[in-house]
Amino acid sequence: MLLSQFLVLAAALFAFGVYGLLVRRNIVLILLSVELMLNAVNINLIAFESVLVSPEAIGHIFAIFVITVAAAEVGIGLAIVLMIFRNRKSANVDDLNLMRW
């Protein structure tokens, strides 16, 4: 196995995440795209760890931290989406133009 095959796969997944982040209108789908990008980063961390084998498995630890922070982010993000939906009756970013000049 080459290292770069994993890196190219992660780059493709990250690019899909960027595309979804820019194209999607629904906030929940934007959060899904962010998860896709974080997942691509995790693939990179694990792939590099399996080449630069460290005695303390630092790549694995970082991937676990990324997963934890992503879980917290989804919890808070969906709570905010719920608040926005209650106040504006919509989960569409195009409708959130209150602070737009």
Positions 14 through 53 that interact with other proteins (CB under 8 A): 14-20, 22-29, 31-33, 35-36, 39, 42-43, 46-47, 49-51, 53
The C-alpha atoms of residue 27 and residue 65 are separated, in whole angstroms, by 24
- Is residue 95 a contact residue for other proteins (CB under 8 A)? no
- Is residue 72 a contact residue for other proteins (CB under 8 A)? yes
* Cβ 70 vs Cβ 38: under 8 Å: yes
Task: Choose among 10, 25, 23, 9: nearest CA to 97.
Answer: 25
- Is residue 100 a contact residue for other proteins (CB under 8 A)? no
Give the nearer residue to other proteins in terms of CB position, either 11 or 96. 11
Count of Cβ atoms closer than 10 Å to residue 76 Cβ: 9
Give the nearer residue to other proteins in terms of CB position, either 18 or 101. 18
CB 62 → other proteins: shortest distance, Å? 9
Number of residues in contact with other proteins under rule CB under 8 A: 72
Max Cα-Cα span within the chain: 54
